[in-house]
Amino acid sequence: MASEVIPTDLQGESDLIDEVSYGSLSLPARGELEMEIDSATGRADRIEVAGDVSLGDARLQLKDLGDSLLPPGTKLTLIAYSGSLNGRFSNVADGEKLAAGLNTFTLRYADGGAVTLSTPAPGEHGYNAWAARMGLDAEDAEPTADPDHDGHMNLMEFALDGRPGSSATGGKVSTTLAVTSDDVNSLVITLPVRAGAVFPGSGPMVSNPVDGVIYTVEGSADLPEFGALALSEIEPLGVEVMPELSEGWEYRSFRTESDADLETAFLRVRVDPAP
């Protein structure tokens, strides 16, 4: 008989990595399944199912018990099944990215009879693969090179979906004064980032490492003191009139938290290589 209840021992109550087994598994429609990973040990909660699995359009939530960056190519199995798998999680499609802690994973539903999470293989989605696609070689392929002499190093071009062979700006980064959804006048910056980037906290918005880069969005009322203004992320603003992005990038918007001194406020993005 199928289980009609999301396993309570996998809901983050024990802060331990667990493994449970079922003959078959059926998750409630519009329910929620919280699975824990431990990036410090490279382990994850695991459900073994001898029969069929129905995901019931439930939402998958990931919780990282550790605080480590997993090695490239790490694979974690969440659900292993011997029968068929029906449905999907409501918040992530096959091949899409999902973040937990410092790591960004690609989820697969039918990975040899398993639902798995994988970190990118070395070079799979990172700078080197992009540089090769852009036709860069020798010294021009270095992350610090600027082959089009536009003042933007290749690593910045990669992070912001730029074109290292063209000095044209491309119009993919926009800074504007706007009234946001809570009726506050804010300075807003909209820019491309690699899909799956997560920006926790406030103040300077620092992303998790994603595809080999870390983004820092920061603000200042005085140019020498970037990082002094509180910022927050909002729904992407104005993207309907901005250029279409390449596959693997998405627009994100960030705003100042206060409308004080906006006439002298500045926003910028900094890109650093992930350690």
DSSP class of residue 210 equals: B
* Segment holding 128, helix H or strand E: helix 127-133
What CA–CA distances, in Å, run from 111 to 55, 98, 106, 114, 125?
A: 16, 16, 11, 5, 19
Separation of CA 209 from chain center:
9
Q: Which two tokens stand for residue 44?
A: 């994850």
pLDDT score of 9 more than 50: no
Instruction: Give phi and psi for 251, each to the nearest 5.
Output: -80, 140
pLDDT bracket for residue 275 (50, 70, 90): confident
Distance CA 230, CA 113 (A): 46
What is the band of 11 on the pLDDT scale with cuts at 50, 70, 90?
very low
- Quick one: pLDDT at residue 3? 39
User: Residue 43: enclosing H or E segment and its boundaries?
Assistant: strand 43-44
pLDDT tens track for 26-76: 998 888 999 999 999 999 999 999 999 999 889 999 999 988 878 878 999
* This model's pTM is above 0.85: no
111-134 per-position pLDDT tens digit? 999 999 998 776 667 898 889 888
Check whether 234 has a pLDDT greater than 80: yes
Helix (H, G, I), strand (E, B) or coil at 223: helix
Q: 75: how many CB neighbours lie within 10 A of its CB? A: 17
